[in-house]
Amino acid sequence: MAPMAEARDVYYLDGSRNQQGPVSADEITRLVRNGAIRRDTLVWYAGMPEWCPASQVNAFASLFTQDTPPRPPAAPAPHPGQVQAPRFPDMAPERMAPVALDDNDGPTDRLRAQLGVWGLFWRTFLVIIGNFVVIPAPWTATAVYRYFAQNTWLPDGRRLTFAGKAGDIWYVFIGLAGLGLLGQITQWAPLITLPLSACLNYLVFRWLCQKVGSEDGSVKLAFTGGFWGYVGWNVLIFLSIMTIIGWAWVLKFFMRWACRKISGTVNFDFVGTGWGILWRTLVFSLASVFVIPFPWLLRWYSVWLLRQVRVENLAAHFD
């Protein structure tokens, strides 16, 4: 049973398991009287560790035992500008992506990311060191992939997970790190190393899709894109650099192709624009010269890319 707590802004799940609210205490009373909220309706307000049936919440239990329900006491409003209620009852609020009230978080059909500035920075720094030293590369890469997954949510509130281990395809990461060092030897080395890196990156991307899931186990993914298609796109991106700005549009179409080739219980699409990629990359590159802003720029750029991924077929989770 939820502990005694005062509540003013309350959320509840309707008959279709859709989150409703916030509603005031007076509105809760009215909803109970007209049958919209029943004894077993799941409710949540700030301070509760998880969703709970309304009849088991001390603040509302009396509404189901008295003919004339008293008005539940009011409590301070939640943190302004943000709603922290989880969307599903099997996950506590602190494990869910907050639903922002402003328009800056993007449409609700996109991935939602909550990456920490320093958490992302030091893991990225370790990836750079791991690739330089070569041997630690499988562990540093796996760590950053896990961090991204565990701090990303589907629009309906399901948190992603990553089950990959460094030993799964360690030889691929060692090969990528070795090719990266080899590419620094001469100006012509990239002509050989880049196609080979594209081949190995295909194996990494396919492995990533297989290892990403959700905490409730409902998400199963697989990459169905062809090997030559993936390699061809990477070669095209490399060649498009000569166009100065055209690479951004090639990258956009590649990411769209890659997202659409991920099949499973949910589907994805990349909706970012070429201009969006271009100007953000320029800002990121130029501002990073000053070194100090780099951790914030890295988070800004990474979160933007994740939020350009639209998630489709979410209704299948309830079928």
* pLDDT number for residue 207: 98
129 versus 94: the higher-pLDDT residue is 129
> Alpha helix (H) ranges present in the chain?
25-33, 58-61, 117-133, 137-150, 170-182, 190-211, 227-240, 247-260, 274-288, 294-306
31 versus 86: the higher-pLDDT residue is 31
For the segment 59-80, what is each residue's pLDDT rounded down to a tens digit? 787 787 654 444 444 444 444 4
* pLDDT number for residue 30: 84
Q: Are 225 and 267 in contact (CB under 8 A)?
A: no
For residue 110, pLDDT beyond 50? yes
252 versus 101: the higher-pLDDT residue is 252
DSSP 69: P
* pLDDT number for residue 72: 45
Q: Are 209 and 164 in contact (CB under 8 A)?
A: no
Q: Are 227 and 204 in contact (CB under 8 A)?
A: no
For the segment 177-202, what is each residue's pLDDT rounded down to a tens digit? 999 988 887 777 777 888 899 999 99
Q: Are 252 and 305 in contact (CB under 8 A)?
A: no
Q: At what angle are helices 294-306 and 117-133 packed, to 10 degrees?
A: 100
For residue 107, pLDDT beyond 50? no
93 versus 25: the higher-pLDDT residue is 25
pLDDT-derived band at 276, boundaries 50, 70, 90: very high
* Cα distance between residue 272 and residue 256, in whole Å: 9
Q: Are 150 and 160 in contact (CB under 8 A)?
A: yes
172 versus 52: the higher-pLDDT residue is 172
* Cα distance between residue 70 and residue 72, in whole Å: 6
Q: How far is CA 85 from CA 12, 109, 317, in A?
A: 9, 18, 19
Q: Which amino acid is at 5?
A: A
* pLDDT number for residue 259: 97
* φ and ψ at residue 34, rounded to 5 degrees: -90, 5
Query: 42-44 and 10-13: which strand pairing?
Result: antiparallel
Instruction: Kindly report the pTM of this predicted structure.
Output: 0.69
- Each domain of the chain, given as residue ranges in start order, spans 10-105, 112-318
For the chain, what is the mean pLDDT? 82
